[in-house]
Structure 1
Amino acid sequence: MHPRARAMATKTALRLGQTFEVTIYGLGHDGQGVGRFEELVVFVPGALPGERVLARLRRQAKRHLEADLVGVEDPAPERRKPACILVERCGGCSLQHCSDPAQAELKTDLVRQALQRLAHLNLDVLPILQAASPLGYRNRALIPLERSPEGQLRAGYYRRGSHKIVNMNRCPVLDPRIDALIQPIKADLEATRWPVDVNLSQGGGLRHLALRVGHHSGEVLITLVSSHNNLPGLEALAHQWQQRWPEVVGVNLNIQPKANNVVLGPDTFQVSGRSWLLESFAGHALHIGADTFFQVNTAQAERLVPLLVAFFSEQPDSQVLEAYCGIGTFSLPLAAAGLDVLGLELQQASVDQARANAERNELPKARFEQADVLASLAVHLAWAESLLVDPPRKGLAPEVMDAILKAPPKRIAYISCNPATLARDLGLLSAAGYRIRPIQPVDFFPQTSHVECVALLERD
């Protein structure tokens, strides 16, 4: 039988809801087990490579099947009991059932596979830098809120592949200092009877609970995200929270009135205390606001600093341009090492914070400009000998890549949170003559399939 005909026959042989056995041979980019049934690839969340599992067909696509895990008939030695009782329903974590050493091997292999499969690059991939704390590491939580049909407040992350909230009171990957606040804050919000409507389907109200803690300082910010500010008694409740928990240095209200999936709106108002918390990063004092982008795993992010400083310092008197610099998280340590650094950032509020952080730490070699990286990178590359990029998951935009290739800096440090787009971009840079050093994965997100990488490139 022709392979395509056999595949079609296989698709008709299984019905939705039917169970079948499958052997798992790999791991997908979302942490799901990957196997085969006849000629079709099967994705089974919760299954591990090497296991034979019983799965229930949930969805048929043209070239693959999606199934739910029913049982594990032949478990892998790496399988363990998850730390969270909600792990089978909550979509926040995908690898809690896998031992930490095995997670490290799987993530390193995911990076290697992406480079080979997507860019045909046979690069050395160093062993991943594992987290000393695989639980309790997240310094920030953005928790959706809703009310049940009976009016009960729910707070929790979404079920995998849906917008259905899995109600929770604790989350083991959160820093314990903010994890402990979820249940009592939920109870207080329940008592207010304020409208709660994360999807804006019932007229609006509270949408998210945002919690942030300084990993080193211990200071905490509480932020409520709402579609409006009609929340009677909010100021009194904010004062109560600060009195009850001395570590809470501020309570804020963010307004997000639009019916979309963007969590934070453009306007944040200080309700009580401060609008920022004090944190230390790589020995430098930072002010971090409720809506500031900052790496969620402080300890692991700090491990990147020596790599970047050593790389850029190899070229004496190097001038470093950092695109997407945020509040200067990496620019400041580079300037402290004696490098001239110019950071580019689109958000003016972040630029203002970065400048204040540079002044606070007495680092005149760190300068920051409000600029659209897409539009201005080519101009700024005429000044810089080295480039640091930390783009979003979609990687470098075509305009950014074009600017780099037209005025190629001698050195590039590329921090990536997506091995697929990293592979794509490294393929283009390699073809343009850049030599790529061994890739360094770093586990910023234990218990998930996400992996951060640092790629160091140079050219003559």
Structure 2
Amino acid sequence: MGKRRKKNYYKGPDITEKYNFFENQKIITKISDYDDNGVGRGYYEDEVPILVFNSIIGEKLEIEITKIFPEKIIGRISNILISSEKRIKSNCDFFGNCTGCQWLHIEYDHQLELKKLIVKNNLEKNNLFVDEIIEKTISSDRKFYYRNHGRFTVRKNKDLEELGFVNFLSRKWTSVDHCKIMSQNINDKLKLLKNTLSGKTQVSIRGSDSSTSFLIQPKFETDLFESGQKYYQEKIFDNYYQVASPSFFQVNISQVEKIFNYLLDQAIFSENQIVIDAYCGVGTFTCLIAPYVKKIYGIEESASAIIDANINSNKFNNIYYIQGKTEDVLLDVVDEIDILLLDPPRIGCDDLVIQKINKINPRKILLISCSPENFAIDMSKLSSIGYKIQKIIPFDMFPQTHHVEVVGILELSHE
């Protein structure tokens, strides 16, 4: 969700200087793992990390050095000496220059295996050895054209401003006129925006393939298309959601539906339950859960999201919203809570939230996160206050990338 972790800048020793590396130098390396951005990593003399985009664990590569840092070097493949059996041909013209999709060259089934491994490794870093209850990653029906939100950087290419993305390894900008993971609605808007970008530096497009609604920010001074909308409309099952420009919303609708269907299949909800949906955003899960329970409270800090949530919930009479930070208002709910749904920002739950949970003692907790690292930290904290982990389910919300959504189901232990 909204808030992101601050970048960590390297402050350690210069481990590359003594090797006298130089750009365009060719060296041979074997890829042994992936870094935190899903990029293949080998090592020089078992010391210096070598990051190589478009590589796979186990491959032996001849690479050409493109960038040298005190703590690592960046290289591009000049020759694949031993290729992985998991390698496939990327079907994107921009792959490599654009780094938005890190795993277009990896078979999809193997992507799912890698994502489960990411979840498992992060849990074990937090002393949670629960491999037997981590399920296989649930695949996305849409492998491409699934994202309903894209942010594009505008740069001048020759004499004309164009949309594109910044490569996170080289920091070079790449012009794109099509994106394999953006919705068809967004790709249609990319064509409309061509030749209208003068004076713009960033463009945000939201576009639903379910409702056909869209939003383009900032406003363009043209009659060729609508822009500057305050919100757009998204659809999940039979529910329509108004989503304001600054509000968070899940990017892969079909996977949201799979997550909720999974929870229904597990018989999580019942008609006499009282539920809290913390970090509820525009009421996405709040509205989905409402028909199955007695009462549900939605807690959300963002004022714009609360406005959207109230509009999105107008057909329900058992939803109550509270505006504020979860750590500040969780204790305002005086009912005995059966289920607490936590869907925090990427940075995870504040320690104060865990302390408040320990006071209200909901019978069951559902934790949803797009950060396996912080998911594992939060699961560890919840385990420390008496919750037993029942299931952990990775969902592939972000095909062709290293990102993964994780759902954890915990119950209050009576031991």
TM-score interval, normalised by the smaller of the two chains: 0.7 to 0.9
Which whole-Å CA distance do the structure 1 matches of 2:411 and 2:217 have between them? 43
Unaligned ranges ≥5, structure 2 = 1-12
Q: CA 1:344 to 1:162, structure 2 compared with 1: closer, same or farther past 3 Å?
A: farther
Conservation of the 8 A alpha-carbon contact between 1:119 and 1:423: no
Give every structure 1 segment of 4 or more consecutive aligned residues whose post-TM-superposition deviation is greater than 4 Å.
Answer: 7-11, 309-312
**Aligned position for 1:147:** 156
Q: Any conservation in 2 of the 1:89–1:160 contact (CA below 8 Å)?
A: no
Match of 2:9 in 1: none
* Unaligned 5+ runs, structure 1: 1-6, 196-205, 226-230, 242-249, 253-269
Q: Does 1:348 align with 2:303?
A: yes
**Corresponding residue for 1:247?**
none
> Deviation of residue 329 (structure 1)?
0.4
Contact residue 243 and residue 305 of structure 2 kept, 8 A: no
Q: 1:429 deviation in Å?
A: 1.5
Shift of 1:302: 1.2
Does residue 277 of the first structure (1) align with residue 232 of the second (2)? Answer: yes
Q: Which amino acid aligns with 2:215?
A: L
TM-score norm. by structure 2 comes to 0.88
2:173 match: secondary structure:
coil
The Cα offsets for residues 23-62 of structure 1, whole Å up to 9 and x where unpaired, read as 1232333111133333324432221012111223433445
Q: 1:306 aligned to 2:300?
A: no
For 1:333, what is the secondary structure of its paired residue? Answer: helix
Q: 1:439 to 1:142 in 2, by over 3 A?
A: same
1:22 aligned residue: 29
* Contact 1:444/1:451 (<8 A) preserved: yes
2:318 aligns with 365
Distance 1:59 1:67 in 2: 9
Candidates 374, 385, 399, aligned match of 1:421: 374
Following the alignment from structure 2 to structure 1, what is the Cα–Cα distance between the partners of residues 210 and 19?
57
Measured on the aligned residues, the alpha-carbon RMSD in Å equals: 2.4
CA contact (8 A) 1:393 1:421 kept: yes
User: Structure 1 pair 9/160, CA: closer, same or farther in 2 (3 Å)?
Assistant: closer
Kindly indicate whether the alpha-carbon contact (under 8 Å) linking 1:32 and 1:44 is maintained by their aligned counterparts in 2.
yes
Q: In the alignment, residue 47 of structure 1 is paired with which amino acid? A: S
- CA gap of 1:87–1:339, structure 2 versus 1, over 3 A, is farther
Identity of aligned pairs, percent? 24
Partner of 1:287, secondary structure, is strand
Give the AA of the match of 1:186.
K
Matching residue of 2:227: 251
Correspondence for 1:388 among 341, 362, 370: 341
Deviation at 1:167, TM superposition (A): 0.9
* Whole-angstrom CA distance in 2 between matches of 1:316 and 1:176: 39
- Answer whether contact 1:381 1:409 (CA < 8 A) is retained: no
Aligned residue for 2:99? 91
Residue deviations 1:192-249 (CA, integer Å, cap 9, x gap) = xx42xxxxxxxxxx23222222231222233326xxxxx7xx1xx2x332xxxxxxxx
The amino acid that maps onto 1:296 is V
Q: d(CA) in 2 for partners of 1:162 and 1:386?
A: 45
Higher RCO, 1 or 2 (CA under 8 Å, sep at least 6)? 2
Partners of 2:127 and 2:58 in 1: CA distance: 27
Shift of 1:162: 5.5
Among 157, 162, 173, the residue aligned to 1:165: 173
CA distance in 1, matches of 2:308, 2:335: 26
Q: Is the 8 A contact 1:309 1:337 kept in 2?
A: no
- The alpha-carbon deviation at position 336 of structure 1 amounts to 1.4
Provide closer, same or farther for how the CA distance between residues 169 and 213 of structure 1 changes in structure 2, counting only shifts above 3 A: same
